[in-house]
A and B are shown apart, each in its own frame.
Chain A
Protein backbone atom coordinates (compact mmCIF):
# COMPACT_ATOMS: atom_id res chain seq x y z
CA UNK A 1 0.00 0.00 0.00
CA UNK A 2 1.58 3.34 -1.02
CA UNK A 3 0.52 5.07 2.22
CA UNK A 4 2.57 2.65 4.27
CA UNK A 5 5.70 3.83 2.51
CA UNK A 6 4.88 7.52 2.67
CA UNK A 7 3.93 7.84 6.35
CA UNK A 8 7.34 6.99 7.88
CA UNK A 9 9.13 9.08 5.25
CA UNK A 10 6.92 12.07 6.01
CA UNK A 11 7.56 11.50 9.71
CA UNK A 12 11.33 11.58 9.14
CA UNK A 13 11.00 14.76 7.05
CA UNK A 14 8.87 16.31 9.81
CA UNK A 15 11.40 15.47 12.53
CA UNK A 16 14.23 16.98 10.49
CA UNK A 17 12.11 20.07 9.82
CA UNK A 18 11.32 20.48 13.53
CA UNK A 19 15.00 20.21 14.44
CA UNK A 20 16.25 22.63 11.77
CA UNK A 21 13.38 24.96 10.84
CA UNK A 22 11.80 24.75 14.31
CA UNK A 23 14.99 26.01 15.87
CA UNK A 24 15.36 28.82 13.37
CA UNK A 25 11.69 29.79 13.78
CA UNK A 26 11.81 29.73 17.57
CA UNK A 27 14.97 31.81 17.53
CA UNK A 28 13.23 34.41 15.37
CA UNK A 29 10.15 34.51 17.60
CA UNK A 30 11.91 34.81 20.96
CA UNK A 31 13.27 38.28 21.49
CA UNK A 32 16.81 38.46 22.80
CA UNK A 33 17.08 40.00 26.26
CA UNK A 34 19.00 43.22 26.29
CA UNK A 35 20.25 45.55 28.98
CA UNK A 36 19.05 48.47 26.83
CA UNK A 37 20.66 51.84 27.51
CA UNK A 38 23.27 51.50 30.25
CA UNK A 39 25.14 54.25 32.06
CA UNK A 40 28.86 53.59 31.74
CA UNK A 41 29.88 56.36 34.12
CA UNK A 42 29.24 60.08 34.43
CA UNK A 43 27.19 61.22 31.45
CA UNK A 44 28.38 58.42 29.15
CA UNK A 45 25.89 55.76 28.05
CA UNK A 46 25.99 52.74 25.77
CA UNK A 47 23.11 50.84 24.19
CA UNK A 48 23.51 47.09 24.70
CA UNK A 49 22.92 45.08 21.53
CA UNK A 50 20.27 42.34 21.61
CA UNK A 51 21.47 39.39 23.70
CA UNK A 52 23.85 41.45 25.81
CA UNK A 53 22.86 41.57 29.46
CA UNK A 54 24.30 43.50 32.37
CA UNK A 55 26.53 41.42 34.60
CA UNK A 56 27.83 44.12 36.97
CA UNK A 57 25.58 45.04 39.92
CA UNK A 58 22.75 47.39 38.86
CA UNK A 59 23.50 50.99 39.65
CA UNK A 60 27.15 50.30 40.41
CA UNK A 61 29.00 52.30 37.79
CA UNK A 62 32.00 53.18 39.98
CA UNK A 63 34.27 50.90 37.95
CA UNK A 64 32.28 50.84 34.76
CA UNK A 65 29.90 48.18 33.55
CA UNK A 66 30.15 44.62 32.30
CA UNK A 67 27.91 43.23 29.58
CA UNK A 68 27.86 39.58 28.63
CA UNK A 69 26.54 37.53 25.76
CA UNK A 70 27.30 33.83 25.85
CA UNK A 71 31.08 33.53 26.24
CA UNK A 72 31.83 37.12 25.25
CA UNK A 73 32.27 39.90 27.80
CA UNK A 74 32.35 43.63 27.19
CA UNK A 75 33.53 45.99 29.90
CA UNK A 76 33.24 49.76 29.58
CA UNK A 77 34.58 52.36 31.96
CA UNK A 78 35.02 56.12 32.06
CA UNK A 79 38.63 56.49 33.27
CA UNK A 80 38.74 60.30 33.20
CA UNK A 81 36.00 62.91 33.00
CA UNK A 82 38.01 65.93 31.82
CA UNK A 83 40.36 64.32 29.41
CA UNK A 84 42.38 66.57 27.18
CA UNK A 85 44.48 63.97 25.33
CA UNK A 86 43.64 61.92 22.29
CA UNK A 87 42.51 58.34 21.91
CA UNK A 88 45.89 57.13 20.60
CA UNK A 89 47.78 58.11 23.74
CA UNK A 90 45.00 56.67 25.88
CA UNK A 91 45.27 53.40 23.96
CA UNK A 92 49.03 53.27 24.50
CA UNK A 93 48.64 53.59 28.26
CA UNK A 94 45.77 51.07 28.36
CA UNK A 95 47.82 48.57 26.38
CA UNK A 96 50.56 48.88 28.98
CA UNK A 97 48.08 48.40 31.80
CA UNK A 98 46.48 45.36 30.16
CA UNK A 99 49.86 43.78 29.51
CA UNK A 100 50.51 43.77 33.25
CA UNK A 101 47.33 41.76 33.89
CA UNK A 102 48.05 39.01 31.36
CA UNK A 103 50.62 36.26 31.41
CA UNK A 104 51.15 36.76 27.72
CA UNK A 105 49.56 39.19 25.32
CA UNK A 106 50.17 40.05 21.71
CA UNK A 107 48.65 43.07 19.98
CA UNK A 108 47.84 43.77 16.37
CA UNK A 109 48.41 47.17 14.81
CA UNK A 110 46.53 50.04 16.50
CA UNK A 111 43.86 51.68 14.34
CA UNK A 112 42.73 55.30 14.59
CA UNK A 113 39.24 56.20 13.46
CA UNK A 114 36.12 58.12 14.35
CA UNK A 115 33.10 56.28 15.71
CA UNK A 116 29.88 58.22 16.14
CA UNK A 117 31.90 61.40 15.71
CA UNK A 118 34.19 60.50 18.63
CA UNK A 119 37.95 60.20 18.41
CA UNK A 120 38.59 56.46 18.67
CA UNK A 121 41.60 54.14 18.74
CA UNK A 122 41.41 50.38 18.93
CA UNK A 123 43.61 47.33 18.75
CA UNK A 124 42.99 43.58 18.50
CA UNK A 125 44.86 41.29 20.85
CA UNK A 126 45.28 37.69 21.91
CA UNK A 127 45.99 37.09 25.58
CA UNK A 128 46.64 34.25 27.96
CA UNK A 129 45.00 34.91 31.29
CA UNK A 130 46.25 33.12 34.38
CA UNK A 131 43.55 33.84 36.94
CA UNK A 132 39.93 34.64 37.35
CA UNK A 133 36.92 33.11 35.62
CA UNK A 134 38.36 33.66 32.15
CA UNK A 135 41.64 31.81 32.41
CA UNK A 136 42.93 30.50 29.12
CA UNK A 137 43.54 32.04 25.71
CA UNK A 138 41.17 34.80 24.70
CA UNK A 139 40.73 36.97 21.64
CA UNK A 140 39.89 40.57 22.35
CA UNK A 141 39.58 44.14 21.22
CA UNK A 142 40.68 47.14 23.27
CA UNK A 143 38.99 50.41 22.31
CA UNK A 144 39.62 53.89 23.66
CA UNK A 145 37.22 56.75 22.88
CA UNK A 146 37.15 60.37 23.76
CA UNK A 147 33.47 61.21 24.23
CA UNK A 148 32.90 64.92 24.94
CA UNK A 149 35.96 65.09 27.20
CA UNK A 150 35.32 61.72 28.82
CA UNK A 151 37.98 59.08 28.37
CA UNK A 152 36.13 55.82 27.78
CA UNK A 153 37.83 52.42 27.68
CA UNK A 154 35.94 49.50 26.21
CA UNK A 155 37.38 46.02 26.40
CA UNK A 156 35.85 43.02 24.66
CA UNK A 157 37.07 39.48 25.25
CA UNK A 158 35.95 36.02 24.20
CA UNK A 159 37.52 32.58 24.21
CA UNK A 160 39.72 32.00 21.21
CA UNK A 161 37.63 31.78 18.06
CA UNK A 162 34.45 33.15 19.70
CA UNK A 163 35.02 36.84 19.02
CA UNK A 164 33.96 36.85 15.37
CA UNK A 165 30.29 35.97 16.00
CA UNK A 166 29.85 39.05 18.24
CA UNK A 167 31.99 41.56 16.38
CA UNK A 168 28.97 43.15 14.65
CA UNK A 169 27.30 43.59 18.03
CA UNK A 170 30.44 45.25 19.34
CA UNK A 171 30.58 47.66 16.40
CA UNK A 172 26.93 48.60 16.96
CA UNK A 173 27.52 49.17 20.67
CA UNK A 174 30.61 51.31 20.03
CA UNK A 175 28.55 53.45 17.66
CA UNK A 176 25.91 53.87 20.37
CA UNK A 177 28.24 55.43 22.95
CA UNK A 178 26.99 58.92 23.84
CA UNK A 179 27.57 61.61 26.44
CA UNK A 180 24.50 63.21 28.00
CA UNK A 181 21.50 61.26 29.29
Chain B
Protein backbone atom coordinates (compact mmCIF):
# COMPACT_ATOMS: atom_id res chain seq x y z
CA UNK B 1 0.00 0.00 0.00
CA UNK B 2 1.40 3.36 -0.90
CA UNK B 3 1.13 6.17 1.55
CA UNK B 4 0.21 9.46 -0.11
CA UNK B 5 3.11 11.85 0.16
CA UNK B 6 2.80 15.59 0.45
CA UNK B 7 3.84 17.24 -2.78
CA UNK B 8 6.97 19.31 -3.09
CA UNK B 9 6.39 23.08 -2.93
CA UNK B 10 5.21 24.40 -6.29
CA UNK B 11 8.02 25.81 -8.37
CA UNK B 12 6.47 29.30 -8.00
CA UNK B 13 6.88 29.12 -4.23
CA UNK B 14 9.87 31.05 -2.93
CA UNK B 15 12.83 29.29 -1.37
CA UNK B 16 12.70 31.03 1.99
CA UNK B 17 14.61 28.26 3.67
CA UNK B 18 17.67 28.68 1.49
CA UNK B 19 19.30 31.58 3.29
CA UNK B 20 22.07 33.23 1.32
CA UNK B 21 25.33 34.31 2.88
CA UNK B 22 26.48 37.90 2.58
CA UNK B 23 29.95 36.55 1.78
CA UNK B 24 29.82 35.78 -1.96
CA UNK B 25 33.41 35.89 -3.17
CA UNK B 26 32.41 35.20 -6.76
CA UNK B 27 30.14 38.24 -6.93
CA UNK B 28 31.79 41.52 -8.00
CA UNK B 29 29.08 43.34 -6.02
CA UNK B 30 30.43 41.75 -2.84
CA UNK B 31 33.87 43.21 -3.48
CA UNK B 32 32.42 46.63 -4.30
CA UNK B 33 30.50 46.43 -1.02
CA UNK B 34 33.70 45.53 0.85
CA UNK B 35 35.71 48.28 -0.83
CA UNK B 36 33.15 50.97 -0.07
CA UNK B 37 32.75 49.62 3.47
CA UNK B 38 36.51 50.02 3.95
CA UNK B 39 36.46 53.62 2.67
CA UNK B 40 33.31 54.45 4.60
CA UNK B 41 34.68 52.73 7.69
CA UNK B 42 37.82 54.82 7.62
CA UNK B 43 35.81 58.06 7.25
CA UNK B 44 33.39 56.86 9.94
CA UNK B 45 36.15 56.18 12.46
CA UNK B 46 37.72 59.57 11.74
CA UNK B 47 34.36 61.29 12.22
CA UNK B 48 33.59 59.42 15.43
CA UNK B 49 37.04 60.18 16.82
CA UNK B 50 36.36 63.87 16.25
CA UNK B 51 32.86 63.72 17.73
CA UNK B 52 34.06 61.80 20.79
CA UNK B 53 35.97 64.91 21.82
CA UNK B 54 32.76 65.84 23.62
CA UNK B 55 32.85 62.55 25.50
CA UNK B 56 29.71 62.89 27.62
CA UNK B 57 27.59 64.09 24.70
CA UNK B 58 28.99 61.37 22.45
CA UNK B 59 28.31 58.55 24.90
CA UNK B 60 24.84 59.84 25.71
CA UNK B 61 24.07 60.21 22.00
CA UNK B 62 25.07 56.64 21.25
CA UNK B 63 23.04 55.38 24.23
CA UNK B 64 19.96 57.30 23.08
CA UNK B 65 20.29 56.22 19.46
CA UNK B 66 20.77 52.58 20.42
CA UNK B 67 17.69 52.82 22.64
CA UNK B 68 15.85 53.98 19.50
CA UNK B 69 17.48 51.57 17.07
CA UNK B 70 16.92 48.31 18.97
CA UNK B 71 13.10 48.47 19.08
CA UNK B 72 12.92 49.79 15.49
CA UNK B 73 15.08 46.86 14.35
CA UNK B 74 12.78 44.43 16.15
CA UNK B 75 9.67 46.05 14.66
CA UNK B 76 11.08 45.91 11.11
CA UNK B 77 12.22 42.32 11.66
CA UNK B 78 8.84 41.29 13.06
CA UNK B 79 6.89 43.05 10.30
CA UNK B 80 8.42 40.55 7.90
CA UNK B 81 5.88 38.06 9.16
CA UNK B 82 6.59 34.90 7.25
CA UNK B 83 10.20 35.00 6.09
CA UNK B 84 12.97 35.93 8.49
CA UNK B 85 15.84 37.53 6.57
CA UNK B 86 19.38 36.27 7.33
CA UNK B 87 20.85 38.31 10.17
CA UNK B 88 24.23 38.87 8.43
CA UNK B 89 22.37 40.42 5.49
CA UNK B 90 20.44 42.69 7.84
CA UNK B 91 23.68 43.65 9.58
CA UNK B 92 25.20 44.45 6.18
CA UNK B 93 22.23 46.74 5.43
CA UNK B 94 22.69 48.53 8.76
CA UNK B 95 26.42 48.92 8.09
CA UNK B 96 25.82 50.31 4.62
CA UNK B 97 23.40 52.92 5.96
CA UNK B 98 25.42 53.86 9.04
CA UNK B 99 28.95 53.63 7.74
CA UNK B 100 29.05 53.88 3.93
CA UNK B 101 26.05 56.02 2.97
CA UNK B 102 26.47 58.55 5.79
CA UNK B 103 30.22 58.96 5.24
CA UNK B 104 29.89 59.47 1.50
CA UNK B 105 26.84 61.70 1.93
CA UNK B 106 28.81 64.16 4.07
CA UNK B 107 31.12 64.97 1.15
CA UNK B 108 28.48 64.73 -1.57
CA UNK B 109 25.98 66.91 0.30
CA UNK B 110 28.59 69.56 0.98
CA UNK B 111 29.67 69.65 -2.67
CA UNK B 112 26.15 69.75 -4.11
CA UNK B 113 25.03 72.37 -1.57
CA UNK B 114 27.98 74.47 -2.64
CA UNK B 115 26.95 74.01 -6.29
CA UNK B 116 23.40 75.13 -5.43
CA UNK B 117 24.73 78.17 -3.56
CA UNK B 118 26.69 79.13 -6.67
CA UNK B 119 23.89 78.78 -9.19
CA UNK B 120 20.91 79.91 -7.08
CA UNK B 121 20.28 83.07 -5.12
CA UNK B 122 21.43 83.00 -1.49
CA UNK B 123 17.81 82.97 -0.28
CA UNK B 124 16.89 79.98 -2.43
CA UNK B 125 20.08 78.16 -1.46
CA UNK B 126 19.50 78.95 2.18
CA UNK B 127 15.84 77.91 2.33
CA UNK B 128 15.68 75.14 -0.25
CA UNK B 129 19.27 73.87 -0.45
CA UNK B 130 18.72 70.94 1.92
CA UNK B 131 15.50 69.96 0.18
CA UNK B 132 17.11 70.16 -3.27
CA UNK B 133 20.29 68.25 -2.42
CA UNK B 134 19.72 65.70 0.36
CA UNK B 135 16.92 63.62 -1.20
CA UNK B 136 18.90 63.09 -4.39
CA UNK B 137 22.23 62.40 -2.73
CA UNK B 138 21.14 60.44 0.32
CA UNK B 139 18.33 58.41 -1.22
CA UNK B 140 20.60 57.41 -4.10
CA UNK B 141 23.46 56.37 -1.82
CA UNK B 142 21.15 54.44 0.48
CA UNK B 143 19.29 52.75 -2.36
CA UNK B 144 22.58 51.68 -3.92
CA UNK B 145 23.15 49.69 -0.72
CA UNK B 146 19.89 47.82 -1.26
CA UNK B 147 20.83 47.26 -4.92
CA UNK B 148 24.23 45.88 -3.92
CA UNK B 149 22.64 43.51 -1.40
CA UNK B 150 20.36 42.32 -4.18
CA UNK B 151 23.33 41.77 -6.49
CA UNK B 152 25.19 39.90 -3.77
CA UNK B 153 22.29 37.66 -2.73
CA UNK B 154 19.42 38.04 -5.18
CA UNK B 155 17.75 34.89 -3.82
CA UNK B 156 16.93 36.85 -0.65
CA UNK B 157 14.74 39.19 -2.70
CA UNK B 158 11.59 37.28 -3.55
CA UNK B 159 8.99 39.90 -2.73
CA UNK B 160 8.33 43.59 -2.16
CA UNK B 161 8.52 43.04 1.60
CA UNK B 162 12.21 42.19 1.30
CA UNK B 163 12.83 45.61 -0.24
CA UNK B 164 11.09 47.20 2.71
CA UNK B 165 13.11 45.23 5.26
CA UNK B 166 16.51 45.91 3.70
CA UNK B 167 15.62 49.51 2.83
CA UNK B 168 14.38 50.19 6.35
CA UNK B 169 17.55 48.70 7.85
CA UNK B 170 19.76 50.84 5.60
CA UNK B 171 17.66 53.87 6.59
CA UNK B 172 17.94 52.98 10.28
CA UNK B 173 21.73 52.74 10.10
CA UNK B 174 21.82 56.09 8.33
CA UNK B 175 19.55 57.86 10.78
CA UNK B 176 21.43 56.57 13.84
CA UNK B 177 24.76 57.98 12.67
CA UNK B 178 23.33 61.16 11.16
CA UNK B 179 21.27 62.02 14.24
CA UNK B 180 24.25 61.31 16.45
CA UNK B 181 26.30 63.92 14.61
CA UNK B 182 23.43 66.43 14.94
CA UNK B 183 23.32 65.81 18.69
CA UNK B 184 27.04 66.50 19.05
CA UNK B 185 26.81 69.63 16.88
CA UNK B 186 24.02 70.88 19.15
CA UNK B 187 26.15 70.22 22.23
CA UNK B 188 29.17 71.93 20.67
CA UNK B 189 27.15 74.96 19.60
CA UNK B 190 26.24 75.97 23.13
CA UNK B 191 29.00 78.32 24.26
CA UNK B 192 30.74 77.51 27.49
CA UNK B 193 28.47 74.59 28.23
CA UNK B 194 29.57 72.25 30.99
CA UNK B 195 26.60 69.89 31.08
CA UNK B 196 26.43 68.51 27.54
CA UNK B 197 23.34 66.40 28.16
CA UNK B 198 20.83 69.25 27.75
CA UNK B 199 21.43 70.00 24.03
CA UNK B 200 21.72 66.26 23.28
CA UNK B 201 18.41 65.47 24.98
CA UNK B 202 16.71 68.45 23.32
CA UNK B 203 17.93 67.28 19.90
CA UNK B 204 16.82 63.73 20.66
CA UNK B 205 13.33 64.94 21.54
CA UNK B 206 13.10 66.98 18.34
CA UNK B 207 14.64 64.56 15.85
CA UNK B 208 13.64 61.18 17.29
CA UNK B 209 10.57 61.72 19.47
CA UNK B 210 9.16 64.48 17.24
CA UNK B 211 10.22 63.18 13.86
CA UNK B 212 11.60 59.67 14.32
CA UNK B 213 8.68 58.02 12.55
CA UNK B 214 9.10 60.03 9.39
CA UNK B 215 12.83 59.91 8.67
CA UNK B 216 15.24 57.70 6.83
CA UNK B 217 13.57 54.41 7.81
CA UNK B 218 10.44 55.64 6.04
CA UNK B 219 12.26 57.13 3.03
CA UNK B 220 14.42 54.10 2.30
CA UNK B 221 11.63 51.69 3.21
CA UNK B 222 9.70 53.23 0.31
CA UNK B 223 12.60 53.31 -2.15
CA UNK B 224 13.58 49.76 -1.18
CA UNK B 225 10.06 48.55 -1.87
CA UNK B 226 10.10 50.28 -5.25
CA UNK B 227 13.36 48.58 -6.17
CA UNK B 228 12.13 45.20 -4.93
CA UNK B 229 8.97 45.60 -6.99
CA UNK B 230 11.11 46.21 -10.08
CA UNK B 231 13.25 43.12 -9.61
CA UNK B 232 10.81 40.64 -8.11
CA UNK B 233 7.44 41.14 -9.81
CA UNK B 234 8.52 39.59 -13.09
CA UNK B 235 5.01 38.48 -13.98
CA UNK B 236 4.24 42.19 -14.50
CA UNK B 237 5.41 43.58 -17.84
CA UNK B 238 8.50 45.77 -17.70
CA UNK B 239 6.77 49.12 -18.40
CA UNK B 240 4.33 48.44 -15.57
CA UNK B 241 7.14 47.44 -13.24
CA UNK B 242 9.15 50.52 -14.14
CA UNK B 243 6.15 52.79 -13.61
CA UNK B 244 5.05 51.35 -10.25
CA UNK B 245 8.51 50.68 -8.90
CA UNK B 246 9.64 54.11 -10.08
CA UNK B 247 6.67 55.76 -8.41
CA UNK B 248 7.50 54.05 -5.13
CA UNK B 249 11.14 55.15 -5.35
CA UNK B 250 10.00 58.67 -6.22
CA UNK B 251 7.65 58.61 -3.21
CA UNK B 252 10.63 57.97 -0.92
CA UNK B 253 12.58 60.85 -2.45
CA UNK B 254 9.54 63.17 -2.35
CA UNK B 255 8.96 62.29 1.32
CA UNK B 256 12.56 63.33 2.00
CA UNK B 257 12.14 66.51 -0.06
CA UNK B 258 8.98 67.51 1.83
CA UNK B 259 10.67 66.74 5.15
CA UNK B 260 13.65 68.97 4.34
CA UNK B 261 11.63 71.77 2.75
CA UNK B 262 10.69 74.93 4.63
CA UNK B 263 6.99 74.14 4.13
CA UNK B 264 4.91 74.37 7.29
CA UNK B 265 7.77 75.98 9.22
CA UNK B 266 5.14 78.38 10.56
CA UNK B 267 4.02 75.58 12.88
CA UNK B 268 7.33 76.03 14.71
CA UNK B 269 7.21 79.81 15.04
CA UNK B 270 6.75 81.12 18.56
CA UNK B 271 5.60 84.51 19.74
CA UNK B 272 8.74 85.32 21.69
CA UNK B 273 11.20 83.91 19.16
CA UNK B 274 12.08 81.10 21.57
CA UNK B 275 12.39 77.39 20.95
CA UNK B 276 9.25 75.58 19.75
CA UNK B 277 7.67 73.15 22.19
CA UNK B 278 7.90 69.37 21.79
CA UNK B 279 4.19 69.34 20.92
CA UNK B 280 4.88 71.81 18.10
CA UNK B 281 7.67 69.55 16.82
CA UNK B 282 5.38 66.51 16.95
CA UNK B 283 2.66 68.42 15.08
CA UNK B 284 5.20 69.63 12.53
CA UNK B 285 6.53 66.09 12.01
CA UNK B 286 3.05 64.63 11.67
CA UNK B 287 1.95 67.23 9.11
CA UNK B 288 4.98 66.62 6.93
CA UNK B 289 5.51 62.92 7.38
CA UNK B 290 2.19 61.27 8.23
CA UNK B 291 0.87 61.03 4.63
CA UNK B 292 4.01 59.15 3.59
CA UNK B 293 3.92 56.96 6.71
CA UNK B 294 0.34 56.01 5.85
CA UNK B 295 1.43 55.23 2.28
CA UNK B 296 4.22 53.03 3.60
CA UNK B 297 1.78 51.28 5.94
CA UNK B 298 -0.61 50.53 3.07
CA UNK B 299 2.23 49.18 0.93
CA UNK B 300 3.48 47.00 3.80
CA UNK B 301 -0.03 45.55 4.18
CA UNK B 302 -0.15 44.71 0.46
CA UNK B 303 3.36 43.25 0.59
CA UNK B 304 2.39 41.14 3.60
CA UNK B 305 -0.60 39.73 1.70
CA UNK B 306 1.79 38.73 -1.04
CA UNK B 307 3.99 37.03 1.58
CA UNK B 308 0.92 35.21 2.89
CA UNK B 309 0.23 33.96 -0.64
CA UNK B 310 3.82 32.69 -0.78
CA UNK B 311 3.35 30.98 2.58
CA UNK B 312 0.21 29.29 1.29
CA UNK B 313 2.08 28.18 -1.83
CA UNK B 314 4.78 26.60 0.32
CA UNK B 315 2.45 24.73 2.66
CA UNK B 316 -0.07 23.92 -0.08
CA UNK B 317 -1.05 20.25 -0.20
CA UNK B 318 0.10 19.54 3.31
CA UNK B 319 -1.88 16.38 4.01
CA UNK B 320 -1.55 16.40 7.78
CA UNK B 321 -4.18 18.69 9.31
CA UNK B 322 -2.19 18.54 12.54
CA UNK B 323 0.50 20.69 10.90
CA UNK B 324 -1.58 23.70 9.89
CA UNK B 325 -5.21 24.48 9.17
CA UNK B 326 -6.78 27.17 7.02
CA UNK B 327 -7.93 29.04 10.11
CA UNK B 328 -4.42 28.97 11.51
CA UNK B 329 -2.98 30.34 8.26
CA UNK B 330 -5.47 33.20 8.47
CA UNK B 331 -4.42 33.90 12.03
CA UNK B 332 -0.77 34.22 10.95
CA UNK B 333 -1.43 36.98 8.40
CA UNK B 334 -0.65 39.95 10.67
CA UNK B 335 0.92 40.70 14.02
CA UNK B 336 -2.52 41.74 15.24
CA UNK B 337 -4.14 38.49 14.09
CA UNK B 338 -1.38 36.50 15.77
CA UNK B 339 -1.76 38.44 18.97
CA UNK B 340 -5.55 38.06 18.82
CA UNK B 341 -5.17 34.27 18.50
CA UNK B 342 -2.80 34.18 21.48
CA UNK B 343 -5.12 36.44 23.45
CA UNK B 344 -8.07 34.16 22.65
CA UNK B 345 -6.06 31.19 23.88
CA UNK B 346 -5.06 33.18 26.93
CA UNK B 347 -8.67 33.96 27.75
CA UNK B 348 -9.69 30.32 27.32
CA UNK B 349 -6.69 28.56 28.81
CA UNK B 350 -4.74 31.17 30.72
CA UNK B 351 -1.14 32.33 30.18
CA UNK B 352 0.17 28.81 29.52
CA UNK B 353 -2.35 28.37 26.72
CA UNK B 354 -1.32 31.69 25.15
CA UNK B 355 2.30 30.67 25.40
CA UNK B 356 1.63 27.31 23.74
CA UNK B 357 -0.23 28.98 20.88
CA UNK B 358 2.70 31.36 20.46
CA UNK B 359 5.06 28.38 20.22
CA UNK B 360 2.74 26.72 17.71
CA UNK B 361 2.70 29.86 15.53
CA UNK B 362 6.49 30.10 15.59
CA UNK B 363 6.82 26.42 14.71
CA UNK B 364 4.40 26.79 11.79
CA UNK B 365 6.37 29.75 10.42
CA UNK B 366 9.55 27.75 10.82
CA UNK B 367 7.88 24.82 9.05
CA UNK B 368 7.44 26.90 5.89
CA UNK B 369 11.11 27.97 6.05
CA UNK B 370 12.24 24.34 6.31
CA UNK B 371 9.68 23.04 3.81
CA UNK B 372 10.77 25.58 1.18
CA UNK B 373 14.40 24.56 1.59
CA UNK B 374 13.91 21.11 0.16
CA UNK B 375 12.31 19.42 -2.81
CA UNK B 376 11.62 16.32 -0.80
CA UNK B 377 8.60 16.41 1.51
CA UNK B 378 10.12 13.41 3.27
CA UNK B 379 13.24 15.31 4.16
CA UNK B 380 14.16 14.48 7.77
CA UNK B 381 14.20 18.15 8.69
CA UNK B 382 10.64 18.59 7.40
CA UNK B 383 9.49 15.49 9.26
CA UNK B 384 11.17 16.67 12.43
CA UNK B 385 9.36 20.01 12.21
CA UNK B 386 6.04 18.26 11.61
CA UNK B 387 6.70 16.22 14.74
CA UNK B 388 7.52 19.37 16.69
CA UNK B 389 4.22 20.96 15.64
CA UNK B 390 2.24 17.84 16.51
CA UNK B 391 3.88 17.69 19.93
CA UNK B 392 2.94 21.31 20.69
CA UNK B 393 -0.60 20.62 19.53
CA UNK B 394 -0.83 17.52 21.72
CA UNK B 395 0.52 19.51 24.64
CA UNK B 396 -2.07 22.22 24.00
CA UNK B 397 -4.92 19.72 23.80
CA UNK B 398 -3.75 17.93 26.94
CA UNK B 399 -3.51 21.20 28.80
CA UNK B 400 -7.02 22.16 27.68
CA UNK B 401 -8.33 18.76 28.81
CA UNK B 402 -6.66 19.06 32.21
CA UNK B 403 -8.26 22.46 32.72
CA UNK B 404 -11.64 21.13 31.60
CA UNK B 405 -11.21 18.21 34.00
CA UNK B 406 -10.40 20.63 36.78
CA UNK B 407 -13.66 22.40 36.10
CA UNK B 408 -12.19 25.36 34.28
CA UNK B 409 -14.42 25.98 31.29
CA UNK B 410 -12.71 25.96 27.93
CA UNK B 411 -14.37 28.62 25.89
CA UNK B 412 -13.73 27.19 22.43
CA UNK B 413 -10.96 26.50 20.00
CA UNK B 414 -7.72 28.07 21.17
CA UNK B 415 -6.93 30.10 18.11
CA UNK B 416 -7.09 30.59 14.41
CA UNK B 417 -10.68 29.64 13.72
Q: Does B55 count as interface, using CB distance less than 8 angstroms?
A: no
Q: Which one of A6, A26, A51, A160 lies within 8 Å of B111 (CB-CB)?
A: A26
Residues of chain A contacted by B137 (CB below 8 angstroms): 19, 23
Contact A30 B118 (CB under 8 A): yes
Q: Does B38 count as interface, using CB distance less than 8 angstroms?
A: no
- Residue interface bits B96-129, CB-to-A below 8 A is 1, else 0: 0000000010011001111101110010011001
Contact A19 B126 (CB under 8 A): no
Contact A23 B122 (CB under 8 A): no
Beyond A20-B108, A70-B117, A70-B122, whether A12 also contacts B144 by CB under 8 A is yes
Beyond A106-B191, A161-B189, whether A69 also contacts B122 by CB under 8 A is yes
Q: Does A98 count as interface, using CB distance less than 8 angstroms?
A: no
Q: Does A136 count as interface, using CB distance less than 8 angstroms?
A: yes
Residues of chain B contacted by A135 (CB below 8 angstroms): 269, 273
CA distance A129 to B270 in the complex (A): 11
Contact A53 B108 (CB under 8 A): no
Interface band, chain B: 35 or more
Contact B189 A139 (CB under 8 A): yes
Contact A161 B185 (CB under 8 A): yes
Contact B111 A8 (CB under 8 A): no
How far is the CB of B189 from the nearest CB of chain A, in Å?
A: 5
* Number of residues from A at the complex interface, CB < 8 A: 41
CA distance A68 to B111 in the complex (A): 19
Q: Does A96 count as interface, using CB distance less than 8 angstroms?
A: no
Identify which of residues 1-44 in chain B touch chain A, using a CB-to-CB cut-off of 8 Å.
Answer: 26-29, 32, 36
Residues of chain A contacted by B148 (CB below 8 angstroms): 9, 12
Residues of chain B contacted by A71 (CB below 8 angstroms): 126
Q: Which one of A15, A26, A161 lies within 8 Å of B115 (CB-CB)?
A: A26
Closest 6 CB pairs of A and B: A23-B111, A130-B273, A9-B28, A27-B111, A68-B122, A23-B112
| Partner-A contacts on B (CB < 8 A) | 26-29, 32, 36, 104, 107-108, 111-115, 117-119, 122, 125-126, 129, 136-137, 140-141, 144, 147-148, 151, 185-186, 188-189, 191-192, 269, 272-275
